[in-house]
Amino acid sequence: MKDTINCADAAANSSLPTPLLAFLHLLYSRGWPSSSSSSCVHTPSQLLRDFATRELNAFLWLSLVAVTALLLRRFFSIFRLWHKAKTIPGPPSPSFFGHCKLFSRQNSTFTDVLSECHQKCGPIVKLWLGPTKLLVSVTDPALIEEVLIKAEDKLPFTGKAFHLAFGQSSLFAPSFEKVQKRRELLANELNERLLKNEDPIPMKVADFITDKIEYIRTKGGIDSRLVSQHMAFTIMGVTFFGDGFLASPKAATYEELFMMIAKDAFFWASYNVTPFWRRGFWRYQRLCTMLKCLTQDILQHCRKGCKLFAHTNQDVRNESSNKEMKSAHGAQCCSDDVFQDYYFFRDLKDQQDGKEEPCGNIMRMMFHGCQTTSALITNVLTRLVMHLEIQDQVYSEINMVGRNPSKYEHEDVYRMPLLLATIYESARLLPTGPMLQRCSMKHDLNLATGVTIPAGAVLVVPVELVQKDGFSWGSDASDFNPYRFLSTGTKGSGSGEDVSIAGFSSFVLNDPNENAAFLPFGFGARACIGQKFIILLVASLLASLLKKYKIRINSDSDDDLNTTLTTNLLPHHPYSRILFVRRDQ
């Protein structure tokens, strides 16, 4: 036939590119298309179309197989989760969507829901938060220890909040493997710092904070949350940036920016897909960028000592920073050598890989340290205001240790067991976070009791419940009683009466971590590494303050306090208006 030609010839006569020609020749020589052999009558374009169709079909088939395999895998893992979860007690999931009726009740918090479930089902319960989201809560101290040791990873959500705000870095990442090295380095650095410095809080820091309190005091009642925030920020700033932080004109702006970011960090991280389409998100990202620049600036400032102090930047200065500058005027600035001594991440910096955000770890530690320390100080101040008898006893104890009113060394702080016990007891009654969370994405967790927690389940320890459990803490578990952490030579735990009989010297502080139900700093592989460090710092700071001031309720808002006390709101809203009354007045 005239208009039909042999495939190979047709290809040869056409204007197709040489590599394609060679490819078609190859196909033809191998008998493709199979049906035609020597009597092939395809035109070159038909040949190409056939080829493209076959390729497309093959691609579609492969995609279908891959998607089906993925879906089957997902289906299998959900089925496995449901099947394995059967052995864990807990309320049934009433709907296909897994919604638990317990959550729809008004005014009940998540902790209330868990408390109810534990009362009904025992120390380990499951809760379905959706058809694929299984939460397992544990309240038995022995089980908690086992779970927190065995499960080392955290939920991806935790890392996401830090990542969105402070860029890529390894501290506080979900995977234990990623954080392990950094944790060790940081823990060594903190221990070294404790060994090297005799006084946990340098005198100039205590004086700086006292100046600040004096300044706010002239205005009347103090918001305990605000003053605690300033204290926490100053302690953390000096810890991570060195003494130069006290003189930094940008410190006040830095604090403000941190607080704004802290308010929204977990909200933006709660989106499964990063919400690029929300304008608020971009505003938040701009704040984060400003924070990163400011962190670098402050580091530079501290490195240069006083050189930057004279430099003014109208964009970032505001009225409060002016005041801060005035009160910081007396603070010494550090030289480069001293700065090297203080620069917390000097060792960690060398190990930083190229992908990590510069200063990412400092920002993470400032964020965590400021939030938790500020909450702890507010909590202790509130307890001292509510329990004036304990405040008086703590004051007597501080007086007995005596010495310089602004400066307490480690030794001195260890001789103040009641003050330390007051801090521990405050942290017990109101932990900074209501839950500890872990997960194991790859492997099931087999507990000694025979229960298996399937891979992918979220594990939580409701710290608030555990730390107020009568079984672990006795019949007065809900009361504020720092003496539970003290013992006298003759009997177990002490009491206020023992003070008048035997004096403070007869008290010994028990290690609170001996009680597996004491968890304000977590436990296990991911436990807080700052516990010892921060307790010493906060105790030393409070000793300096209590030596100078009585802390009292602001009489204008007595009614608020009474309401707080009588309605048991304290656990969720620590009392906020207090007065610092000078003892020498």
Report the interface residues with ligand HEM, using CB under 6 A. Answer: 171-172, 179, 183, 186, 190, 365, 368-369, 372-373, 376, 432-433, 436, 520-524, 526-530, 533-534
Q: Shortest distance, CB of residue 449 to ligand HEM, whole angstroms?
A: 21
- Is 257:246 a contact under the CB 8 Å cutoff? no
Contacts of 334 (CB under 8 A, 6+ apart): 242, 243, 244, 302, 305, 342
Q: Shortest distance, CB of residue 273 to ligand HEM, whole angstroms?
A: 24
Q: Is the Cα dihedral 552, 554, 558, 560 positive or negative?
A: negative
CB nearer to ligand HEM: give 139 or 321.
Answer: 139
Tell me the C-alpha to C-alpha distance, in Å, between residue 155 and each of 111, 174, 445, 457, 465: 19, 6, 16, 10, 21
The H-or-E segment that residue 68 falls in is: helix 44-85
Q: Shortest distance, CB of residue 200 to ligand HEM, whole angstroms?
A: 12
Q: Is 370 annotated as a binding residue?
A: no
CB nearer to ligand HEM: give 20 or 527.
Answer: 527
Q: Shortest distance, CB of residue 373 to ligand HEM, whole angstroms?
A: 5
Token code pair at residue 402: 């005596």
Give the end-to-end CA distance of the chain in Å, rounded to a whole number: 119
The Cα–Cα gap between 463 and 470 comes to 14
CB nearer to ligand HEM: give 190 or 359.
Answer: 190
The Cα–Cα gap between 223 and 382 comes to 11
CB nearer to ligand HEM: give 247 or 534.
Answer: 534
DSSP 134: E
Token code pair at residue 275: 């919400």
CB nearer to ligand HEM: give 284 or 523.
Answer: 523
CB nearer to ligand HEM: give 24 or 269.
Answer: 269
CA 99 to centroid of chain Cα atoms: 27
Q: Shortest distance, CB of residue 240 to ligand HEM, whole angstroms?
A: 8
Q: Shortest distance, CB of residue 165 to ligand HEM, whole angstroms?
A: 15
Helix axis angle for 224-241 and 279-303, nearest 10°, is 50
CB nearer to ligand HEM: give 52 or 226.
Answer: 226
Q: Shortest distance, CB of residue 572 to ligand HEM, whole angstroms?
A: 17
Q: Is the Cα dihedral 458, 463, 468, 471 positive or negative?
A: positive
Q: Shortest distance, CB of residue 423 to ligand HEM, whole angstroms?
A: 9
DSSP 38: G
DSSP notation for 171-192: TT-S-HHHHHHHHHHHHHHHHH
CB nearer to ligand HEM: give 151 or 316.
Answer: 151
Binding site members for heme: 528
What are the binding residues? 528
